Amino acid sequence: MTEPYLSATDMHGGYGKADILNGCTLTVDKGQIAVIVGPNGAGKSTAMKAVFGMLNLREGRVTLGGEDITALTPQERVRKGMGFVPQTHNIFPTMTVEENLEMGAFIREDDFRDTMAQVYELFPAVADKRKQNAGELSGGQRQQVAVGRALMTKPSLLMLDEPTAGVSPIVMDELFDRIIEVARTGISILMVEQNARQALEIADIGYVLVQGANRYTDSGQALLADPEVRRTFLGG
Amino acid sequence: MDILNALVAILNFVVIPAASYGAQLALGALGVTLIYGILRFSNFAHGDTMAFGTALVILVTWGLQAIGIDLGPVPTALLALPIGIALCSVFVLGTDRTVYRFYRRKRSDPIILVMASVGVMFIMNGLTRLVIGVDEIRFDDGARFLVSVQQFRAWTGLSEGLSLRVSQAITLAVTALACWALFRFLSRSRAGKAMRAYSDNEDLALLSGIDPERVVRLTWIIATALAVTAGTLYGLDKSFKAFNYFQILLPIFAAAIVGGLGNPLGAVAGGFIVAFSEVAVTYPWKKIANYLGFQPEGLLQLLSTEYKFAVSFVILIVVLLFRPTGLFRGKSV
C-alpha cells in the first residue's frame, strides 16, 4: 500500500505539560475530504494545528507527499503546499477582498492573476465585493474570503478549522458545496467540524476523536450508519 | 470692507498658523500611529526622535553652508533633510535592535514596550543636548516671506495685513507631498500592503509568509522619516529648541488618538483638529469682533497661550471618555 498524501501518525503533544494529543493519527489522500469530529475538548483543533506545525510534537511524525515535515515551521509548511484557514481572525478586516487574496499569494513570485480568477469563479458572491473591505462582509462571505486567501498559494492540502462556525444553515450547505468543488480539483481537504452530521455526509474519511486519540475511523457514510457512533456522538 | 478685513485677520492669525502647525502635528502623529499599528505600543520617544533628527539636520545644514551650498530662497535644511533622515533612521534601527526587539521576541505586554520607549526617550533627549546644546537655534536661511504684510496691503488696499512665510508654505507643501506618498505606498505597493496586513492581523500575516522583521524595520524607517521631517519643519517655522520637541509629544498623541490610533488618515485629521482648536482657543478675537461691529470689553481670548497644552489634554480626555477608538475607528487604547 502506498503512503497517503498527508500522513500524521501517532501524534503526542500539547501546549503545556499535559498532552492533549495521545496517539492521534490522521491521513488524507489526494482529492479526499477528511473530517475530524468529536466532543468538545477532544483535541480536534489541536490535532489540526499539530499537522500544521503550530504545536510541538513530543512523539509522532507528519509527512506530506512522502516528505517528512515534522520539524518545519508553519510558514515553511505553507511553502510545501499546505493551506490553513484558522477558525477566527482568518481575514485582514481593513483590507479589501482583493488585497486579502493578494496577501494570500504573498510568497508567490509568479503571476497569480489566474488563481485569483479561479477563486472568484468559485465564490461569485465574493467576486462582486472585491473592492470592499473584508471586515464589512457577512459571516459566510468572510469565510469564503478566508478560504480564498488560503487557496491563493495553490495548496495541495487545505486545512479548515470549523469553517461553518457561526454561519446560517443555508450558508453552511453552500460552503460545503464549495469545499467539495475544491476537492474535485485534486486538493486534499482536512477539516474540523462542529456540525458533525452534515460534515460526515461529504467526508470520504471521518475521524472521531476522543481525548486526543482516534476512537472511530471510517468513511463518512459508514460512520453515519454506525449505531454506536450515532448514539454517542451524533445525538441518535 | 470690514468683513473682508475680518476675514483677512482670521486667515492671517488663525488659519495659516494653525494649518502649518496642524501639518507638523499630522506628520508627527502619522509616525506615532504607524508605530502603534505595527509594533503595538505608544512610542514615547517619538518627540525626541524629532528633536534628535532635527539636530542632525541642523548639523548637516551647517556643514552644507560651510562649503557654500544653499538653495537660494528655499532653506538649505531641505537639502540636509534626507541625510538627517538617513542618519536618524540608522540610530532608531539601532534602538530597535538593542531595546525593542528583545521585548518583541518575548511577546511582552505593550506597557512594557511603552516604558522601554520612555527609557529610549531619555537617552535621545540627553544625546540631543550633548550634540547640539539646549539653546534656541534658528536655521532658516533663504527668503523669509512669500507674501509680506506690506506687499499684501499694497496689493489689496485693505488696512489688515496678511503674511505667508516661506517656512509655512514649505510646511504645507512638504506635508501634502509626504501624505500623498505615504498613502500611495500603503495602498499600492506590496511592502505597504504587507504593513497593513501585519497591522490588521499579525498571525495571518505570518501564515501568509510576510516577514515580520522586515515590516518592523520598514515601519521604523518610515516613522523616523516622518518624525524628522515634522521636526525640521517645526524648527524652521518656530526655531529649534530641544525641550519644545518633548512638549510637542502631548499634542501629537492627542492628534493620533483623536483620529484613532493605528489609522493614518485619522492621524492627519487629528493633527489639524488639535492645531485649529489650540490656535482658536488661545487667539484673542477682539480685533475680529471689532471689525464685525462689536465692542467687547476684554480680549476675547479663552485661554492664555501659556496654557495651550491644556487644549490637547481636554481633547484627549473627551475623546477617551466618549469615543475611545477615535473619530476614524482606530484601535482603542
The string of pLDDT tens digits covering residues B154-192 is: 999 888 999 999 999 999 999 999 999 999 999 999 999
Per-residue buried b or exposed e for B304-319, using 16+ beta carbons within 10 Å of the residue's own CB: eeeebeebbeebbeeb
CB pair distance less than 8 Å for A149 and B210: no
CB-based contact A90 B208, cutoff 8 Å? no
Looking at mean pLDDT, say which of B38-42, B140-144, B300-304 comes out highest: B38-42
The contacts of residue B296 (CB under 8 Å, 6+ apart) are: B286, B289, B290
**Which of A106, A107, A112 is best to mutate for the B interface (most B CBs within 10 A)?**
A106
State the average pLDDT over residues A200-222: 94
**A78, B197: Cβ pair inside 8 Å?**
no
CB B164 within 8 A of CB B144: no
Report whether B225 contacts B27 (CB < 8 A).
no
Contact A89 B203 (CB under 8 A): yes
Q: How far is B21 from chain A (nearest CA, A)?
A: 30
Interface touch B194/A103, C-beta < 8 Å: yes
d(CA A106, CA A104): 6
> What is the grid cell recorded at A170?
443555508
Say if residue B297's pLDDT is above 90. Answer: no
Per-domain residue ranges of chain A: 1-81+156-236, 93-154
* Location of C-alpha cell 467539495: A180
C-alpha cell at B154: 499694497
* CA–CA min distance B266, chain A (Å): 14
**Contact residues for B305 (Cβ-Cβ < 8 A; gap 6+):** B282
Res. B54: pLDDT tops 90: yes
pLDDT bracket for residue B8 (50, 70, 90): very high
Distances (CA, A) of B263 to A36, B9, B185, B227: 40, 34, 15, 17
A1: pLDDT strictly greater than 60: no
CA gap B40, B194 in Å, rounded: 16
Kindly report, residue by residue over B19-47, the tens digit of the pLDDT: 999 999 999 999 999 999 999 999 999 99
**Domains by residue range for chain B, with CATH:** 2-322 (1.10.3470)
Distance CA B168, CA B296 (A): 31
Percent residues over pLDDT 70 in chain B: 99
For A133-147, how does the pLDDT look when each residue is reduced to its tens digit (9 = 90+)?
Answer: 999 999 999 999 999
Whether A95 sits inside 8 A of B196 (CB atoms) is yes
Edge-first strand listing for the sheet containing A6-13: A21-28, A6-13, A59-64, A67-68
Q: Which of A49, A84, A99, A103 to mutate to test the interface with B (most CBs of B within 10 A)?
A: A103
Residues of A in contact with B201 (CB under 8 A): 89, 91-93
**How high is the pLDDT of residue B271?**
97
Q: What is the pLDDT of residues A13-25, one digit of tens each?
A: 998 888 999 999 9
Q: Is residue B287's pLDDT more than 60?
A: yes
- 10 Å CB burial of residue B71 (0-12, 13-18, 19+) is middle
Q: What's the rounded Cα separation, in Å, for the pair A135 and A119?
A: 18
Contact B185, B90 (CB under 8 A): no
Consecutive H or E run containing B190? helix B190-200
Find chain A residues with C-beta within 8 A of B190's C-beta. 106
Query: Cβ neighbours of residue A71 under 8 Å, at least 6 residues apart?
Result: none
Q: Please give, rounded to a whole number of angstroms, the shortest distance from the CA of A104 to a CA of chain B.
A: 5
Which pLDDT band, with edges at 50, 70 and 90, does A106 fall under? very high
Q: What is the pLDDT of residues A34-71, one digit of tens each?
A: 999 998 889 999 999 999 999 989 999 999 999 999 99
Fold of A1-81+156-236: Rossmann fold (3.40.50)
- The count of CB pairs under 8 A between chains A and B is 55
CB proximity B196 to A under 8 Å: yes
CA distance A174 to A167: 10
Residues A229/A37, Cβ–Cβ less than 8 Å: no
Mean pLDDT of chain B: 94
pLDDT at B332: 54
A9/chain B closest Cα distance in angstroms: 24
Please tell me if residue B210 touches chain A, with a CB cutoff of 8 Å.
yes
Report CB contact under 8 Å: A95, B197: yes
Q: Which residue of A has its CA nearest to B210?
A: A106
Taking CB atoms and an 8 Å cutoff, what residues of chain A touch B196?
A: 92, 94-95, 99
Residue A97: which residues within 8 A CB-CB, separation 6 or more? A126, A129, A130, A131, A132, A133, A134, A137, A145, A148
Tell how strand A157-161 and strand B145-147 pair up: unpaired
